[in-house]
Amino acid sequence: MTDAPYPYRQLVFSGGGLRCFWHGGFLEAFTETRALRPDRITGSSGGALSAAAWVLGAERRLRDMFADAMAGLDSNVTLDDLGSDDGRSVHQRTYDAILDKLLDASALARIAEGPAFQINVATPGTSRAPTARALLGGTIYQAEQLLSPTPRPRLSTLAGMEQRLIDARQAAQNGTLADLIRMAATVPPAFRPDDWNGETIFDGGMVDKAPMPDPDDGPTLVLLTKRFHALPDDENGRITFVEPGEDILPGRKLDFTDPGLLVEAWDQGRDDGRRWRNKIA
Protein backbone atom coordinates (compact mmCIF):
# COMPACT_ATOMS: atom_id res chain seq x y z
CA MET A 1 0.00 0.00 0.00
CA THR A 2 1.30 3.47 -0.89
CA ASP A 3 1.92 6.07 1.82
CA ALA A 4 -0.28 8.73 0.22
CA PRO A 5 -4.03 8.17 0.74
CA TYR A 6 -6.63 9.05 -1.86
CA PRO A 7 -7.32 12.81 -1.92
CA TYR A 8 -11.04 12.50 -1.13
CA ARG A 9 -12.07 14.37 2.03
CA GLN A 10 -15.71 13.32 1.82
CA LEU A 11 -17.30 9.91 1.17
CA VAL A 12 -20.96 9.46 0.26
CA PHE A 13 -22.85 6.14 0.35
CA SER A 14 -26.07 6.03 -1.68
CA GLY A 15 -28.91 3.66 -0.89
CA GLY A 16 -30.23 0.73 -2.88
CA GLY A 17 -31.37 -2.18 -0.71
CA LEU A 18 -29.23 -5.27 -1.24
CA ARG A 19 -27.37 -3.41 -3.98
CA CYS A 20 -25.54 -1.67 -1.12
CA PHE A 21 -23.32 -4.73 -0.72
CA TRP A 22 -21.67 -3.41 -3.86
CA HIS A 23 -20.18 -0.73 -1.56
CA GLY A 24 -18.25 -3.30 0.45
CA GLY A 25 -16.78 -5.07 -2.56
CA PHE A 26 -15.91 -1.79 -4.23
CA LEU A 27 -14.11 -0.30 -1.24
CA GLU A 28 -12.28 -3.52 -0.42
CA ALA A 29 -10.74 -3.53 -3.90
CA PHE A 30 -10.41 0.25 -4.25
CA THR A 31 -8.40 0.56 -1.01
CA GLU A 32 -6.27 -2.52 -1.50
CA THR A 33 -3.19 -0.50 -2.44
CA ARG A 34 -4.09 3.00 -1.23
CA ALA A 35 -5.93 4.15 1.90
CA LEU A 36 -9.10 6.23 2.00
CA ARG A 37 -9.33 8.56 5.01
CA PRO A 38 -12.26 10.97 4.60
CA ASP A 39 -12.99 13.70 7.12
CA ARG A 40 -16.75 13.48 6.55
CA ILE A 41 -19.08 10.62 5.62
CA THR A 42 -22.76 10.54 4.72
CA GLY A 43 -25.12 7.65 4.07
CA SER A 44 -28.65 7.42 2.69
CA SER A 45 -31.10 4.53 3.20
CA GLY A 46 -29.16 1.24 3.08
CA GLY A 47 -26.04 3.31 2.49
CA ALA A 48 -26.23 4.44 6.12
CA LEU A 49 -25.61 0.84 7.17
CA SER A 50 -22.85 0.49 4.57
CA ALA A 51 -21.20 3.61 5.96
CA ALA A 52 -21.34 2.34 9.55
CA ALA A 53 -19.90 -1.03 8.51
CA TRP A 54 -17.08 0.69 6.62
CA VAL A 55 -16.14 2.86 9.59
CA LEU A 56 -16.01 -0.33 11.66
CA GLY A 57 -14.09 -2.33 9.04
CA ALA A 58 -16.92 -4.86 9.24
CA GLU A 59 -18.21 -4.98 5.66
CA ARG A 60 -17.52 -8.70 5.19
CA ARG A 61 -18.96 -9.48 8.62
CA LEU A 62 -22.12 -7.57 7.73
CA ARG A 63 -22.42 -9.47 4.45
CA ASP A 64 -22.04 -12.80 6.22
CA MET A 65 -24.58 -11.82 8.89
CA PHE A 66 -27.13 -10.97 6.22
CA ALA A 67 -26.40 -14.18 4.33
CA ASP A 68 -26.96 -16.27 7.46
CA ALA A 69 -30.23 -14.48 8.20
CA MET A 70 -31.47 -14.75 4.62
CA ALA A 71 -30.66 -18.45 4.42
CA GLY A 72 -33.61 -19.16 6.71
CA LEU A 73 -36.13 -17.04 4.78
CA ASP A 74 -38.44 -18.31 2.07
CA SER A 75 -40.76 -15.30 1.78
CA ASN A 76 -40.43 -11.53 1.80
CA VAL A 77 -43.88 -10.94 3.30
CA THR A 78 -46.71 -12.93 4.85
CA LEU A 79 -50.23 -12.06 5.94
CA ASP A 80 -49.12 -12.35 9.57
CA ASP A 81 -46.62 -9.52 9.00
CA LEU A 82 -49.39 -6.98 8.57
CA GLY A 83 -50.36 -7.24 12.23
CA SER A 84 -46.89 -7.69 13.67
CA ASP A 85 -45.74 -5.28 16.37
CA ASP A 86 -42.15 -5.79 15.21
CA GLY A 87 -42.74 -4.37 11.74
CA ARG A 88 -44.69 -5.12 8.64
CA SER A 89 -42.12 -7.14 6.74
CA VAL A 90 -39.35 -9.67 6.97
CA HIS A 91 -36.99 -6.87 5.94
CA GLN A 92 -37.54 -4.75 9.03
CA ARG A 93 -37.26 -7.65 11.46
CA THR A 94 -34.09 -8.91 9.77
CA TYR A 95 -32.62 -5.40 9.74
CA ASP A 96 -33.37 -4.93 13.44
CA ALA A 97 -31.74 -8.20 14.45
CA ILE A 98 -28.58 -7.56 12.44
CA LEU A 99 -28.21 -3.99 13.69
CA ASP A 100 -28.46 -5.16 17.29
CA LYS A 101 -25.63 -7.64 16.71
CA LEU A 102 -23.39 -5.37 14.66
CA LEU A 103 -23.68 -2.24 16.79
CA ASP A 104 -22.59 -3.47 20.20
CA ALA A 105 -21.05 -1.16 22.81
CA SER A 106 -17.57 -1.46 21.32
CA ALA A 107 -18.80 -0.65 17.81
CA LEU A 108 -20.77 2.35 19.01
CA ALA A 109 -17.70 3.72 20.81
CA ARG A 110 -15.59 3.39 17.66
CA ILE A 111 -18.16 5.19 15.51
CA ALA A 112 -18.56 7.94 18.13
CA GLU A 113 -14.79 8.52 17.99
CA GLY A 114 -14.52 8.22 14.21
CA PRO A 115 -14.80 10.72 11.35
CA ALA A 116 -17.79 13.05 11.06
CA PHE A 117 -20.74 10.89 10.00
CA GLN A 118 -24.22 12.06 9.01
CA ILE A 119 -27.24 9.97 8.07
CA ASN A 120 -29.76 11.26 5.56
CA VAL A 121 -33.49 10.86 6.27
CA ALA A 122 -36.76 12.21 4.91
CA THR A 123 -39.59 13.57 7.02
CA PRO A 124 -42.90 15.36 6.54
CA GLY A 125 -41.98 17.33 9.66
CA THR A 126 -44.65 17.61 12.30
CA SER A 127 -47.54 17.53 9.82
CA ARG A 128 -50.58 15.33 10.32
CA ALA A 129 -50.89 11.95 8.54
CA PRO A 130 -47.11 11.53 8.10
CA THR A 131 -47.37 8.06 6.54
CA ALA A 132 -49.88 9.28 3.96
CA ARG A 133 -47.56 12.13 3.04
CA ALA A 134 -44.63 9.73 2.80
CA LEU A 135 -46.63 7.38 0.56
CA LEU A 136 -47.50 10.32 -1.70
CA GLY A 137 -43.90 11.50 -1.67
CA GLY A 138 -42.69 7.99 -2.46
CA THR A 139 -45.12 7.70 -5.37
CA ILE A 140 -43.94 11.01 -6.80
CA TYR A 141 -40.34 9.93 -6.27
CA GLN A 142 -40.90 6.64 -8.13
CA ALA A 143 -42.53 8.47 -11.04
CA GLU A 144 -39.60 10.89 -11.24
CA GLN A 145 -37.10 8.02 -11.18
CA LEU A 146 -39.00 6.28 -13.97
CA LEU A 147 -39.19 9.35 -16.22
CA SER A 148 -35.90 11.05 -15.35
CA PRO A 149 -33.64 8.97 -13.06
CA THR A 150 -31.47 11.16 -10.85
CA PRO A 151 -29.51 10.76 -7.59
CA ARG A 152 -31.01 14.08 -6.46
CA PRO A 153 -34.83 13.74 -6.56
CA ARG A 154 -36.64 17.06 -6.58
CA LEU A 155 -40.36 16.37 -6.78
CA SER A 156 -41.04 14.55 -3.49
CA THR A 157 -40.94 17.96 -1.83
CA LEU A 158 -44.32 18.57 -3.47
CA ALA A 159 -45.74 16.18 -0.86
CA GLY A 160 -44.05 18.13 1.93
CA MET A 161 -41.10 15.77 2.39
CA GLU A 162 -37.99 17.44 3.81
CA GLN A 163 -34.38 16.38 4.23
CA ARG A 164 -32.58 16.00 7.54
CA LEU A 165 -28.91 15.15 8.06
CA ILE A 166 -28.57 13.58 11.51
CA ASP A 167 -25.31 13.27 13.44
CA ALA A 168 -24.53 9.54 13.61
CA ARG A 169 -21.66 10.01 16.06
CA GLN A 170 -24.00 11.69 18.53
CA ALA A 171 -26.52 8.87 18.03
CA ALA A 172 -23.74 6.36 18.73
CA GLN A 173 -22.87 8.21 21.95
CA ASN A 174 -26.54 8.14 22.94
CA GLY A 175 -26.92 4.44 22.12
CA THR A 176 -29.57 5.17 19.47
CA LEU A 177 -27.58 4.60 16.28
CA ALA A 178 -29.27 1.28 15.47
CA ASP A 179 -32.65 3.00 15.64
CA LEU A 180 -31.44 5.83 13.38
CA ILE A 181 -30.02 3.48 10.73
CA ARG A 182 -33.24 1.48 10.70
CA MET A 183 -35.35 4.64 10.39
CA ALA A 184 -33.16 5.83 7.51
CA ALA A 185 -34.35 2.82 5.49
CA THR A 186 -38.04 2.98 6.43
CA VAL A 187 -40.08 2.56 3.25
CA PRO A 188 -43.84 2.77 3.78
CA PRO A 189 -45.93 0.69 4.05
CA ALA A 190 -43.50 -2.25 4.40
CA PHE A 191 -41.61 -0.70 7.34
CA ARG A 192 -43.30 0.73 10.40
CA PRO A 193 -42.11 4.34 10.85
CA ASP A 194 -40.89 5.81 14.13
CA ASP A 195 -40.20 9.31 15.42
CA TRP A 196 -36.87 11.08 15.84
CA ASN A 197 -36.90 14.35 17.78
CA GLY A 198 -40.64 14.65 17.32
CA GLU A 199 -40.64 14.02 13.55
CA THR A 200 -41.70 10.83 11.77
CA ILE A 201 -38.72 9.51 9.80
CA PHE A 202 -38.65 7.72 6.44
CA ASP A 203 -36.15 6.55 3.84
CA GLY A 204 -33.90 9.46 2.90
CA GLY A 205 -33.55 8.30 -0.70
CA MET A 206 -36.78 10.01 -1.71
CA VAL A 207 -35.20 13.41 -0.97
CA ASP A 208 -31.54 12.72 -1.80
CA LYS A 209 -29.89 9.46 -2.84
CA ALA A 210 -26.39 10.97 -2.66
CA PRO A 211 -26.45 13.50 0.22
CA MET A 212 -23.47 15.81 0.51
CA PRO A 213 -22.19 16.42 4.06
CA ASP A 214 -22.85 19.59 6.01
CA PRO A 215 -20.46 21.38 5.93
CA ASP A 216 -19.71 20.41 2.34
CA ASP A 217 -16.10 21.09 1.43
CA GLY A 218 -13.33 19.33 -0.45
CA PRO A 219 -12.90 16.52 -2.98
CA THR A 220 -15.77 14.04 -2.66
CA LEU A 221 -16.23 10.41 -3.69
CA VAL A 222 -19.89 9.47 -4.24
CA LEU A 223 -20.67 5.75 -4.44
CA LEU A 224 -23.89 5.11 -6.39
CA THR A 225 -25.43 1.64 -6.55
CA LYS A 226 -27.21 2.10 -9.87
CA ARG A 227 -26.59 3.75 -13.19
CA PHE A 228 -28.28 7.04 -14.04
CA HIS A 229 -28.94 8.71 -17.36
CA ALA A 230 -27.62 12.01 -16.02
CA LEU A 231 -25.60 12.97 -12.96
CA PRO A 232 -25.83 16.24 -10.98
CA ASP A 233 -23.74 19.16 -12.20
CA ASP A 234 -20.38 19.64 -10.51
CA GLU A 235 -19.24 23.11 -11.45
CA ASN A 236 -16.04 22.97 -9.42
CA GLY A 237 -14.96 19.52 -10.57
CA ARG A 238 -14.50 18.28 -7.01
CA ILE A 239 -17.04 15.42 -7.01
CA THR A 240 -16.28 11.97 -8.38
CA PHE A 241 -19.45 10.00 -9.05
CA VAL A 242 -18.83 6.26 -9.24
CA GLU A 243 -21.50 4.10 -10.89
CA PRO A 244 -21.53 0.30 -11.20
CA GLY A 245 -20.22 -1.00 -14.49
CA GLU A 246 -23.62 -2.57 -15.11
CA ASP A 247 -26.99 -2.73 -13.37
CA ILE A 248 -26.89 -4.61 -10.05
CA LEU A 249 -29.63 -7.06 -9.06
CA PRO A 250 -32.27 -5.66 -11.44
CA GLY A 251 -35.69 -6.02 -9.81
CA ARG A 252 -34.34 -7.89 -6.78
CA LYS A 253 -32.82 -5.28 -4.48
CA LEU A 254 -35.35 -6.16 -1.73
CA ASP A 255 -35.44 -9.94 -2.19
CA PHE A 256 -34.32 -11.36 1.18
CA THR A 257 -34.80 -15.00 0.13
CA ASP A 258 -31.60 -15.49 -1.87
CA PRO A 259 -28.22 -15.02 -0.09
CA GLY A 260 -26.51 -15.41 -3.44
CA LEU A 261 -27.62 -11.89 -4.31
CA LEU A 262 -25.23 -10.51 -1.68
CA VAL A 263 -22.27 -12.24 -3.28
CA GLU A 264 -23.37 -11.08 -6.72
CA ALA A 265 -23.51 -7.44 -5.62
CA TRP A 266 -20.25 -7.72 -3.66
CA ASP A 267 -18.35 -9.35 -6.53
CA GLN A 268 -19.49 -6.71 -9.00
CA GLY A 269 -18.38 -4.04 -6.54
CA ARG A 270 -14.99 -5.70 -6.26
CA ASP A 271 -14.59 -5.75 -10.05
CA ASP A 272 -15.64 -2.10 -10.32
CA GLY A 273 -13.30 -1.18 -7.45
CA ARG A 274 -10.35 -2.69 -9.25
CA ARG A 275 -11.30 -0.87 -12.45
CA TRP A 276 -11.54 2.49 -10.67
CA ARG A 277 -8.34 1.85 -8.73
CA ASN A 278 -6.46 1.31 -11.96
CA LYS A 279 -8.15 4.32 -13.55
CA ILE A 280 -7.12 6.70 -10.76
CA ALA A 281 -3.65 5.24 -10.12
Q: Is residue 133 within 8 Å of residue 139, measured between CB atoms?
A: no
**Given the residues 14, 44, 45, 50, the one annotated as active site:** 45
Element (H, E) at 49: helix 46-56
Q: Does 106 qualify as catalytic in the annotation?
A: no
Measured N-to-C along each axis, helices 90-102 and 46-56 cross at an angle, to the nearest 10 degrees, of 20
Pairing of strands 116-123, 40-44: parallel
Candidates 14, 50, 156, 203; catalytic one:
203
Q: Where are the alpha helices (DSSP H) in 72-218?
A: 90-102, 105-112, 130-147, 168-174, 177-183
User: Among this protein's residues, is 45 annotated catalytic?
Assistant: yes
Give the integer Cα–Cα distance in Å for 122 and 90.
22
DSSP, res 74: -
Measure the CA–CA gap between 232 and 84, rounded to whole angstroms. Answer: 40
Active-site residue set: 45, 203
